[in-house]
Structure 1
Amino acid sequence: MSFQSDILAGDIAQTVTLAGRLDSATAPGFEKTLHDLFLHPARRVLMDFSGLDYISSAGLRVVLMAAKRSKQSQGQLVLCNLQPHVREVFEISGFLKILNIAENQDLALAQLQA
């Protein structure tokens, strides 16, 4: 399975939906997409992982870099809908402690509005 990301502009935030596998083959393209997204200051971004089946260390690095860029630009990044096996990778890596993660989109949007 390949990787796909879509960006939808919303009233509160830009929503990035992920599907497929985020690994060493697909991470560079996604990193470019996210880099361009955070060129705008104070951008609010919601990343929806509901369709993501797999994430490798390369994918984790891209997510971490997005969080850093968000912080540098005074923006916000909230992740939501992590599948159990993807959530486990975030937990093992320690990312659950350093990233903003919500159970679903409604809770993520509430975090971004606060």
Structure 2
Amino acid sequence: MIDAARIVGVDPKTWTWWEGDERAPYVHQYPAIIQYLGYEPWPEPQSLAEKLLAQRRRRGLSIKRAGELTGVDEGTFGRWESGEWQPQPRSLRLIGRFLGSLD
């Protein structure tokens, strides 16, 4: 546990909280966690909302920064990510770039 915490860049207490589901990692910590584990610790994303969340975690981005990268404010990006709103057709190209493809 101590080695894992050190590799990921957190203290052992934080690692213990994560293992016990007492706390969740901050989004900026996910890239190091994914690298350490060798896989993404969530189910394969299916919906656009799930794909946005997964990509944001992979990159360790805040909702605000993800919004900036897709040309929208953080409220809009957050609503896309939660599935509350569907993006307008004009936003799909920017979302495709964010996701790394145009699918």
Mark yes or no: TM-score above 0.5.
Answer: no
Of Structure 1 and Structure 2, the greater helix share is in: 2
TM bracket (short chain): under 0.3
Give TM-score, length-normalised by structure 2. Answer: 0.28
| Structure of greater Rg | 2
